[in-house]
Structure 1
Amino acid sequence: MTLPVNAFKRALRDGRSQIGIWNTIPGPVVAELLAGAGFDWVLLDTEHALTDIPDIFAMLQAVAAYPVSAVVRPQTNDTVLIKRLLDHGAQTLLLPYVQSAAEAEAAVRAMRYAPRGVRGVSGMTRASRYGAIPDYVQRAEEELCLLVQVETAEALAQIEAIAAVDGVDGLFIGPSDLAASMGHPGNARHPEVVAAIDDAIRRIVATGKAAGILTLDPAYARHCLELGTSFTAVGVDMALLRAAASDLAKAFGRGA
């Protein structure tokens, strides 16, 4: 058995735009539904969701049957959480709240086995197909992809330094947290925030690393794509469910 290819990482390297969707509802059912919807990638979120480490295992299994890439977001940039998610078979991680090159370097070390990193070695994991991939430890790093979130004004000032870290494949802008850090909580569409995001995308692209963002505004998503975002999430499962449910209720004279 051979090491699975990380199609998402290959696409970013080739400069092919990847359109994604956010999965915040725990369990394999919604994850599988979204996996078959036609997106390039689906984000399995454990930071702002009820989803936890045990849930991720089954969700990764559900998504694996479809031609879509799974990206997993841990609760935080933590060596133990990273190790567990990688052992479960996650190949691409999106780490929240990375503020500096030093924090990015720590994440890279957590992704890599010694002597280049500190990831703990276990032979019987889903990642190695329970030992059926004989050279997993030697080659795992080739197909792992690390994305880091820059989501404060302070982090945006460090874009070039973070992007220069070997092992960082992409930088993702978090509009909501950025807006709050800039004094505009709940208003990611404030002109100052939009200007900062536009500038950040251009700077990330200039470094040669992939730029990413999540926005539920289709027009702004297209704007970001024009600026050069390589991995762009355009929907969230719970937001889509709420909107569809509200529209249906209104169609029958119910709801607000």
Structure 2
Amino acid sequence: MPAPKNSFKMRLKKGETQIGLWLGLGDPSVAELCAGTGFDWLLIDGEHGPNGLRDTLSQLRAIGAQTQAVVRTRDDNRAEIKQMLDIGAQTLLVPMIESGKQAAEVVRSAKYPPHGVRGVGAALARASSYNGIADYLQTANDEICVLLQVESKAGLDALDDILAQDGVDGVFVGPADLAADLGYLGRPGAPEVQTIVNDTLKKIRTAGKAAGILTSDQTLAQGYKELGVEFLAIGSDVGVLRGGLLALRKAFA
């Protein structure tokens, strides 16, 4: 029996636009609720959300097979990448990538030898159904999807080298951090920033990699969709809940 098929990765390769939602609340019940609302993918945020290893595990279980889960790690720490894969994440989004060498090391961290250095502990791992998947070690590499975030001037300068790395399935443009690094703190929608963002997304796609981005601005989101962005997040559990509550209260002001 092989490792479970990663349909998110398969659809990226086909060039489809998959619509996602950010999970920042760190609650499995919220993750379960969101998983049943029709999004193609949900991202469990371990960089800015209060999500450690066990929090992520609980949300992966809550999401189950309802939709595809993407896990954003805190950083490119090799041990954390290994643990996230062992608890069942098949798609990782790794933030703050600023060189081709760093990108290559993330890929190595996510793959078993001879293509990488992921530690072998499948017999203890949820990823292999606790050793219930006999061919997990031989088939896991093909189903791991590595997404990298470029969100700084240094990342933009190194983009060609990042895109050239084998095993990088997609590159996500982080507009908030990029805007800050370009001198537009808190203004990711500024025309000067958006020109760079759109040019970067096009460059990623031209290189044959999947391009991704997050925005809660629906006008920008529609533009990214028309551009053909392959993985597009259009909001977050935090934003949707707060927006809904404010609207409900305002209706009875």
Tell me the TM-score normalised to structure 2 length: 0.97
Q: Within the alignment, does 1:152 sit opposite 2:152 as a pair? A: yes
Unmatched 5+ stretches in structure 1: none
Q: Within the alignment, does 1:200 sit opposite 2:176 as a pair? A: no
1:209, 1:116 → 2: CA distance? 19
Letter in 2 for 1:160: D
What is the aligned-residue RMSD (CA, Å)? Answer: 0.9
Would the aligned equivalents of 1:93 and 1:145 in 2 still touch at CA under 8 Å? yes
Aligned 1:98-117 pairs, distance under 5 A = 98-117=97-116
Aligned 1:231-246 pairs, distance under 5 A = 231-246=231-246
Unmatched 5+ stretches in structure 2: none
1:2 deviation in Å? Answer: 3.5
1:52, 1:178 → 2: CA distance? 25
For residue 8 of structure 2, give the secondary structure of its aligned residue in structure 1: helix
1:101 deviation in Å? Answer: 0.6
For residue 71 of structure 2, give the secondary structure of its aligned residue in structure 1: strand
Query: Residues 3-53 of structure 1: CA distance to partner in whole angstroms, max 9, x if unpaired?
Result: 211000000011111000000111210111111110000000111011111
1:58, 1:50 → 2: CA distance? 13
1:59, 1:41 → 2: CA distance? 13
Letter in 2 for 1:149: Q
Q: How many residues are treated as equivalent by the alignment?
A: 252
1:190 deviation in Å? Answer: 1.2
Q: Within the alignment, does 1:214 sit opposite 2:243 as a pair? A: no
Q: Within the alignment, does 1:57 sit opposite 2:57 as a pair? A: yes
Query: Residues 85-106 of structure 1: CA distance to partner in whole angstroms, max 9, x if unpaired?
Result: 0000000000000011111001
Would the aligned equivalents of 1:92 and 1:145 in 2 still touch at CA under 8 Å? yes
Greater RCO between the two (CA within 8 Å, min separation 6)?
Answer: 2
For residue 211 of structure 2, give the secondary structure of its aligned residue in structure 1: strand
Aligned to 2:70: 71
1:28, 1:53 → 2: CA distance? 13
Would the aligned equivalents of 1:90 and 1:127 in 2 still touch at CA under 8 Å? yes
For residue 212 of structure 1, give the secondary structure of its aligned residue in structure 2: strand
Would the aligned equivalents of 2:2 and 2:139 in 1 still touch at CA under 8 Å? no
Aligned to 1:41: 41
Tell me the TM-score normalised to structure 1 length: 0.96
1:112, 1:83 → 2: CA distance? 9
Aligned to 1:95: 94
For residue 127 of structure 1, give the secondary structure of its aligned residue in structure 2: helix
1:115 deviation in Å? Answer: 2.4
Runs of 4+ with >6 A deviation: none
1:215, 1:157 → 2: CA distance? 23
1:226, 1:127 → 2: CA distance? 35
For residue 185 of structure 2, give the secondary structure of its aligned residue in structure 1: coil
For residue 126 of structure 2, give the secondary structure of its aligned residue in structure 1: coil
1:217 deviation in Å? Answer: 1.0
Would the aligned equivalents of 1:110 and 1:119 in 2 still touch at CA under 8 Å? yes
Would the aligned equivalents of 1:201 and 1:228 in 2 still touch at CA under 8 Å? no
Query: Residues 200-233 of structure 1: CA distance to partner in whole angstroms, max 9, x if unpaired?
Result: 0110111010000001011111111222210000
1:166, 1:65 → 2: CA distance? 29
1:93, 1:65 → 2: CA distance? 17
Would the aligned equivalents of 1:179 and 1:193 in 2 still touch at CA under 8 Å? yes
Report the more deviating stretch, 150-159 or 88-97: 150-159
Aligned 1:173-184 pairs, distance under 5 A = 173-184=173-184
Aligned to 2:10: 10
2:226, 2:209 → 1: CA distance? 16
Work out the percentage of aligned pairs sharing the same amino acid: 46
1:229, 1:156 → 2: CA distance? 18
1:116 deviation in Å? Answer: 2.0
1:65 deviation in Å? Answer: 3.3
Would the aligned equivalents of 1:171 and 1:211 in 2 still touch at CA under 8 Å? yes
